[in-house]
Amino acid sequence: MKKTLKIFTAALFFAFTGNSFAGPKITFTELIIAAEKDAKLTAAAHQLAAQKNLPVTILTADKVTIDARGIENGNVVYTVITNPADIYDNSFTLFFEEAVKGYDLSASLLIYPNGNVIDNTNGLYRYQLDQSARGLEKFLLIADWTFDRVWAFNPENGNLIDTAFISHSNPQLQSPKHALQTHDNFILVADQISDLVQKFDTSGFYISHFAPSGGVNTSIVDNMRGIAFRPNRNLLATVGSGTNQNTIQEFDMSGNHIGSFISLGTLNSPFDIHYRSNDILVTNSSGPNDVTRYNHSGTFISNFIVSANLTFPQQVLRMPNGNLAVCGFSSPSGLIHFDSSGNYIRSMSAVTGLRGAYLLGNGNYLVTNATGVIEMDSTSGSLIRIVASGSNFQYISEYIPGGLVGLSNISNAVPENFSLNQNYPNPFNPNTNIIYQISVRGNVNLSVYDVLGNDVMTLVNENQNPGTYSVNFDGSNFSSGIYFYKLTAGDFSETKRMILLK
């Protein structure tokens, strides 16, 4: 009944507007895919909207989302999404004149290019924050293109914690795509339009641009999408345009450009970088090679997923059993499941236009699209609720508050086994890093012992999700000598030796 009503509403819209205005020739699907691949199309539309004093986003009282995304014949072209879950259901494009005639803007929320917001919805798009989330071991960070900021969510139930964990700060953030926590407890945000990775502290305060270290340099990065850390903590960034189009570029821990980690030849408009224990998966928005596979040195292995069931893949989520859930942005769209070898399993298509996905502690999925953050049933794939609506959400990552002892999550990829790495450097003075892998969620303890077996420091003692973690051990208050560090997780236990030399 609801879908029938939406189709009827759209038919009435065109009946009332079609005789007075000629609509855009570009279709909704054509425009939203083009703007997704090149955010500068949206930036140009916003610039034209500013010249014409037009809003860039209109959120109506009946939850219709209207966004400026392109230009046609000197006019701003808006996409209209009538179904927040299935963005391709009964969606279309229009010019502003059609929006004025077809929708009641006096009862809508209007966002202008300069950041001004006029809210005539009586608070319809205001959010109730989860006050019980204080004290959580970790949060989820999700970048948002509508307000150009980073939000925080509860990783257990998906509830909204903060609408501006990193607040709007133009020109630093113009189209934030991916936020990642660093090993030294800062947050890096990849911005697709500004072509910079920006650096913030954990209070959301802007510090500086991080990569490229010299500032914007489109001969290095142009049309940046997803980012990831190598085990050595160097930063990788996908590049969609310019000199290094269809490559992945590498930067050191200070943001200095090193060169191409994956060179031109095997990528087709890359988006997400997903580390597994023995390989790296990269999603491609163009070409038949949906997901390509590389070793940890960036050497091509194979076209990992080539499937008619997946088009324009974005973020990859690895499940506890090793299977993959891939966000399909364009039709056939949804959360598309594959086994660990890349064989198709099934599609969940109740929510479409997906960019980011995360498996919540309650067993459900949290996913993002162009209208909101949505909770999905992980068994049936059905919509459970829309957690936050009216914003253009991107990738999802974990953030661990800085109270933990030098602990950071290097990768959310699920390792195949538990393991404990040798500390580096070793010998050390006074700091060293310990990396370990967790394959199943549970309590994790990492402690340091002296040669007599005394527990001299507990570095980690908490429940952790599967992933790869790094802990910094500071031996400033300890004397020179041999120490042991022991990882215990479930039935797994391993001990290694390290040497402190002062």
The answer as to whether 477 is a domain residue is: yes
Domain match, 457 and 364 both? no
Domain match, 233 and 113 both? no
Question: Which amino acid belongs to residue 372?
Answer: G
**Of 119, 148, 169, at which residue does a domain stop?**
119
Domain match, 351 and 290 both? yes
The answer as to whether 235 is a domain residue is: yes
Domain match, 189 and 68 both? no
**Of 399, 433, 459, at which residue does a domain stop?**
399
Helix (H) or strand (E) holding 229: strand 224-229
The answer as to whether 280 is a domain residue is: yes
352 within 8 A of 32, measured Cβ to Cβ: no
The answer as to whether 11 is a domain residue is: no
- The model's pTM: 0.79
Torsion, Cα 431 459 150 352, to 10 degrees, reads 120
Domain residue limits at 357: 139-399
The answer as to whether 195 is a domain residue is: yes
The answer as to whether 130 is a domain residue is: no
Domain match, 249 and 159 both? yes
The tally of domains found in the chain comes to 3
Please tell me whether residue 330 adopts helix, strand or coil conformation.
coil
> For the domain that residue 148 is a member of, what is the CATH number?
2.120.10.30
The answer as to whether 14 is a domain residue is: no
Quote the pLDDT of residue 80. 99
Domain match, 56 and 114 both? yes
Domain match, 415 and 375 both? no
Mean pLDDT by 10 residues, the chain (502 residues): 43 48 92 97 98 98 97 98 97 98 98 95 91 78 96 96 91 96 90 96 91 98 97 94 98 97 98 94 94 97 97 96 96 97 98 98 98 98 96 94 54 77 88 90 92 88 88 85 93 91 82
**Nearest by Cα to 369 from 78, 89, 54, 58:** 89
The answer as to whether 108 is a domain residue is: yes
